[in-house]
């Protein structure tokens, strides 16, 4: 892989920083790696190597401040900055260290209204395992839900087809799956699942009138059993569940969606398949979409389609 590597971090707005830190650390089972002078809390999943993947910021309303993707190196960062400007978006450089242990970031606003950034450097703190003769897991792999990594996010906003053009033509993503609107409306693309890797999606967008909205941040679970165990932990801790445990038709993912204490939706996600850049794009028609959302039930869950932060 070259170019854009993976979702590296997301900064979430939370209503109470202590309650949120407790939730993501003790219930979700992430590892807290730092706090900064602004009071932001930094966490990572146990099997991630970089210093942070989730940053919590206290605010009076929930949602996402920005999402950041790691790119291969500084030359890639400089080239993509030029390419994004040539595409017609303004870019801004944030200095190294503005986020703890993170290098310079190039930030721009997507057509859907979300702040998106790319960066090449973040300190590697490791996953708690040695590089020589490592055992398969560390104690943090059994603490709380214990996802292995930040997998993807689904963002809601207007102009998703403009986002598609940016991600495919400029940032080197491929379109793995898409959802179409009703035939009466001419079947516009209303859902896009984009990958910069051979995951089914590293980022996804759904058409929505209000810009900059978060539908969910998704955390990778190694197995379906671990998704069920995450559901047990949600039950034990009275975490409100939106959907699941079930399987999506879209991406074939095994999933539970639930809400954090601030009302930000998150997903515990396993499975899927391994698309390559030359794979065909899978299309879900509007009529087929209920099974795309929840394959066993074939049901359009009202809260899933309408609640965003
Ligand atoms: C996922 C996923 C929609 C499907 C979402 C799918 C918008 O979140 O991780 O596969 O219906
Ligand atoms: Fe998802």
- Judge if 184 and 112 occupy the same domain: no
Distance from residue 124's CA to the centre of ligand 2 (Å): 26
Between CA 2 and CA 59, with CA 114 as vertex, the angle to 5 degrees is 120
The whole domain housing 167 covers 149-306
- Judge if 86 and 206 occupy the same domain: no
Q: Whose CA is nearest to atom 9 of ligand 1?
A: 253
Residues constituting the chain: 309
* For residue 270, cis peptide bond before it (omega within 30 degrees of 0): no
Residue 294, domain CATH: 3.10.180.10
User: Chunked in runs of 10, what are the mean pLDDT values of the chain (309 residues)?
Assistant: 95 98 98 98 98 98 98 98 98 98 98 98 97 96 97 98 98 97 95 97 97 98 98 98 96 97 98 94 96 94 92
Cα 190 to Cα 88, 152, 174, distances in angstroms: 23, 18, 16
Our answer on whether the CB atom of 253 is closer than 6 Å to any ligand 1 atom is yes
- Judge if 76 and 179 occupy the same domain: no
**What is the H or E stretch that residue 60 is in?**
none
122, 157, 180: which is the final residue of a domain?
122
- Judge if 103 and 179 occupy the same domain: no
- The total of structural domains in the chain comes to 2
Our answer on whether the CB atom of 244 is closer than 6 Å to any ligand 1 atom is no
Query: Do residues 102 and 96 lie in contact, with contact meaning Cβ atoms separated by under 8 Å?
Result: yes
Per the structure block, which two tokens stand in for 173? 């993503």
Q: Render pLDDT for 27-61 as a digit per residue (tens, 0 to 9).
A: 999 999 999 999 999 999 999 999 999 999 999 99
ipTM: 0.95
Domain-embedded: residue 54: yes
- Judge if 188 and 264 occupy the same domain: yes
Residues with CB under 5 A from ligand 2 (ion): 218, 267
Per the structure block, which two tokens stand in for 296? 């066993």
How many angstroms separate the CA atoms of 211 and 12, rounded?
A: 16
Which residues are catalytic, by number?
Answer: 152, 201, 216, 248, 257, 267
Per the structure block, which two tokens stand in for 197? 């890797």
Kindly give, in sequence order, each residue whose CB lies less than 8 Å from that of residue 31, ignoring residues fewer than 6 positions away.
25, 43, 44, 45, 46, 140
Q: What is the radius of gyration, based on Cα positions, of the chain?
A: 18
Kindly give, in sequence order, each residue whose CB lies less than 8 Å from that of residue 51, ignoring residues fewer than 6 positions away.
33, 34, 42, 44, 100, 101, 102, 122, 123, 124, 125
Q: Whose CA is nearest to atom 3 of ligand 1?
A: 293
Q: For residue 126, which of 40, 207, 33, 34 has the smallest C-alpha distance? A: 33
- Judge if 156 and 118 occupy the same domain: no
pLDDT, residue 2, reads 86
pLDDT, residue 141, reads 96
- Judge if 160 and 276 occupy the same domain: yes
Q: Which residues pair with 122 in a beta bridge?
A: 102
pLDDT, residue 1, reads 81
**What is the residue-wise DSSP string for 76-88?**
HHHHHHHHHHHHT
- Judge if 169 and 273 occupy the same domain: yes
Tell me the three state secondary structure of residue 181. Answer: coil
């Amino acid at each position: 892989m070259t170019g854009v590597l993976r979702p590296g971090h997301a900064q979430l707005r939370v209503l109470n920083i202590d309650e949120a830190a407790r939730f993501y650390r003790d219930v979700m089972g992430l590892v807290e790696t730092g706090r900064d002078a602004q009071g932001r809390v930094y966490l990572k999943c146990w099997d991630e190597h970089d210093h942070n993947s989730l940053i919590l910021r206290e605010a009076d309303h929930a949602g996402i401040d920005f999402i950041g993707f790691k790119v291969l190196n500084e030359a890639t960062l400089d080239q993509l900055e030029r390419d994004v400007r040539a595409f017609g978006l303004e870019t801004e450089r944030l200095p190294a260290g503005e986020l703890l242990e993170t290098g310079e970031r190039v930030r721009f606003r997507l057509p859907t209204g979300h702040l998106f950034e790319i960066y090449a450097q973040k300190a590697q703190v490791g996953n708690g395992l040695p590089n020589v003769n490592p055992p398969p897991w560390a104690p943090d792999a059994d603490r709380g839900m214990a996802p292995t990594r930040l997998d993807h996010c689904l963002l809601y906003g207007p102009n998703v087809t403009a986002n598609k053009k940016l991600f495919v033509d400029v940032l080197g993503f491929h379109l793995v799956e898409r959802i179409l609107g009703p035939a009466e409306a001419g079947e516009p693309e209303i859902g896009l699942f984009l990958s910069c890797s051979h995951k089914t999606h590293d980022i996804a967008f759904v058409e929505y009138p209000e810009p900059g909205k978060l539908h969910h941040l998704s955390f990778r679970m190694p197995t379906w059993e671990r998704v069920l165990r995450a559901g047990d932990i949600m039950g034990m801790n009275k975490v409100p569940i939106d959907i699941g445990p079930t399987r999506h038709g879209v991406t074939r993912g095994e999933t539970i969606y639930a809400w954090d204490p601030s009302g930000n939706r998150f997903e515990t996600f396993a499975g899927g398949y391994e698309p390559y850049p030359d794979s065909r794009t899978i299309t879900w028609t509007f009529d087929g979409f209920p099974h795309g959302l929840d394959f066993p039930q074939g049901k359009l869950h009202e809260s899933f389609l309408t609640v965003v932060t």
